Amino acid sequence: MENRKTDDLMIQASQLTHYYGPRPAVEEVNFGVKRGEVLGFLGPNGAGKTTTMRIITGFMPPTQGKVTLADYDVVEQSLEVRRRIGYLPETVPLHMEMPVTSYLKYMGTLRRMPSRQIKRRIGEVIEVCRLQDYHKTIIGKLSKGFRQRVGIAQAILHEPEVLVLDEPTIGIDPIQVVETRRLIQDLGKEQTVVLSSHILPEVNMICERVLIIHEGKIVAEDTPENLAQRLQGADQLQVEVRGPVREVQAALRQINGVTEVTHRSQQGRNVFTVQVQRGQDLRDEISRVVVNQDWSLFSMQLVSMSLEDIFLRLTTHEEL
Amino acid sequence: MRTIRAVAWKEIQVYFGTPIAYIVGSIFLVLTGIFFAIGVVPSEANPFPEASLSNFFQWGTTILILLAPALTMRLLAEEQKLGTIELLLTSPVRDWEVILGKYLASLTFLLAMLALTLYYPALLFIFADPDPGPIYSGYLGLILYGAAALSIGMLTSTITSNQIVAGFVAMGVIAALSFVHVSSDLLGGFMSLLIREVGLQAHFEDFSRGVIDTKHIVYFLSVTAVFLFLAIRALEFRRWR
């Protein structure tokens, strides 16, 4: 009963550190992934996402720290861990000379699946990944998008408890990106999924929780919605006003609570972006100022900060 | 067991799905065929040849110095270069199963290649009356020698992701181990003995003469085991780099 808490956690990493030479790729990272959760690692290239995933999957041991998956240690009980994961590395390394079905059969045997189960599951994953027309094609002759599907097919073949996907939509065309995301969302309903990405909307769309990783450290961790809220140091208003640009700008700046006003001309219309201190609603005040000066207020919109901005801030300026 | 077989079977399919098998196989058959013919066809230098395979066996080992690395150099180096090793090593397969599976694939290919040379003794039995003893022992020796050579190639392919490097280093090591015994006379005492006992070809000679000595069998099997063990350790070490 005591370890019920850890029972709920599918993956638990504590003080995870990995060095390549003298430079740490991942430094004292702690996180947990709940059973059934879809967790996203978000970060620019070189942030340490791939390293973290390689450690989770047992491909390489951490320099320091400990990771457990289903309560098995990834170093000490690597084989038990590897039985439970399906992995799609970033580069989608496949055996190019093999036909799709033979490749899947090979991977199934490596995963120690009984041959009857392999046969059944190959049929299923080929359908799920929509490879029906290509199941006899040699992998090397498939396009990048289809190879990606084969990569996912091998990862889910043995119905692993945890699915680890490293940049699953990188380098494939937009339509296939949409399909792949949908597929991952479906898989996430039943399996624990850990994926990495440097594309914000993607993580926002697929993941229940996001870890933002930068230079080997976790700088933020929350649901995509909460992240947006937590990080909103300021609200933004877009105001369209007809009037002399400089004076409007000056007048808006003088309003108490406004921190910054920028102007841009959009097809002859004057749009002002007004940064407002967090939690203040200044729409009343702004409209009063504009109208009092005899200018015309055409529109006013509250713009919440996009994840993109958050991401930019997190990885370029400050830590949370 | 199933995983070893899966790894081996995949590699065997690659051998026959790519030109490697046919190139290595035909080079082996052409060269050994020439040396077999030289040994048994009367010539000015050898007007009364013996109906034996000794010439084939002697040159066979030398040819294997060149060809065994060609069979093994791809096995792990390519997986490392292409990154497929990431999926291999994150599958629930033990490192020794990977090495053994790949090794058995190369050994199977070697045996197939040697099986194709069986028409040399067949010809002898049809047209002459050869002594069967040295033929059996010679084949046994060639298989053991090849097994050792392949294990050396297995190790070098595990260490590097560059196939060319893996191939040439293996060739160098096998050649050095094959011919080192020639230099044993240059040194005296214990060193001379040691070097003579270490050489691959020194242990092969008895086989080609029709002598099956347990000492030599143990020697070849030990060399094979040591290099396969080193290959397994190298693969384990790879994870820690």
Alpha-carbon span A143 to B147, nearest angstrom: 40
Task: Please answer yes or no on whether A82 and B91 come within 8 Å at the CB atom.
Answer: yes
> What pTM, to 2 d.p., does this model score?
0.82
Does the structure show a pLDDT above 60 at A233? Answer: no
Q: What is the pLDDT of residues B31-61, one digit of tens each?
A: 999 999 988 888 887 787 788 888 899 899 9
Write down the pLDDT at residue A3.
Answer: 40
Write down the pLDDT at residue A275.
Answer: 79
Partner B contacted by A61 (CB < 8 A): yes
Q: With beta carbons less than 8 A apart as the criterion, state whether B51 and B41 touch.
A: no
Q: Is A233 helix (H, G, I), strand (E, B) or coil?
A: coil
Residue B146 CB contacts under 8 Å (≥ 6 apart), including other chains: B64, B68, B107, B110, B114
Most trustworthy range by pLDDT among A150-159, A273-282, A310-319: A150-159
Average pLDDT (B91-97) is 95
Alpha-carbon span A162 to A164, nearest angstrom: 6
The DSSP H or E segment spanning A197 is strand A192-197
Write down the pLDDT at residue A2.
Answer: 39
* Least-confidence region, from A8-17, A173-182, A187-196, B194-203: B194-203
Write down the pLDDT at residue A320.
Answer: 33
Average pLDDT (A163-170) is 92
- CA-based R_g, chain A, Å: 25
Q: What is the pLDDT of residues A181-200, one digit of tens each?
A: 999 999 998 899 999 988 77
Best residue of A72, A95, A110 to probe chain B, by most B CBs closer than 10 Å: A110
Nearest to B176, CA basis, from B203, B198, B156: B198
Alpha-carbon span B17 to A145, nearest angstrom: 25
Best residue of A75, A82, A109 to probe chain B, by most B CBs closer than 10 Å: A109
Torsion, CA B33, CA B38, CA B41, CA B46, rounded to 10: -170
Task: Please answer yes or no on whether A87 and B3 come within 8 Å at the CB atom.
Answer: no
Report the complex ipTM: 0.89
Q: What is the pLDDT of residues A87-135, one digit of tens each?
A: 999 999 999 999 999 999 999 999 999 999 999 999 999 999 999 999 8
Q: Is A190 helix (H, G, I), strand (E, B) or coil?
A: coil
Write down the pLDDT at residue A319.
Answer: 34
Residue B110 vs residues A29, A43, A114, A317, B147: alpha-carbon distances, Å = 49, 49, 30, 61, 8
Task: Please give the order of strands across the beta sheet that includes A162-166.
Answer: A85-88, A162-166, A192-197, A38-42, A209-214, A217-222
Alpha-helix runs per DSSP H in A189-317: 200-206, 224-231, 245-254, 283-292, 307-316
Residue A6 binned pLDDT confidence (cut-offs 50, 70, 90): very low
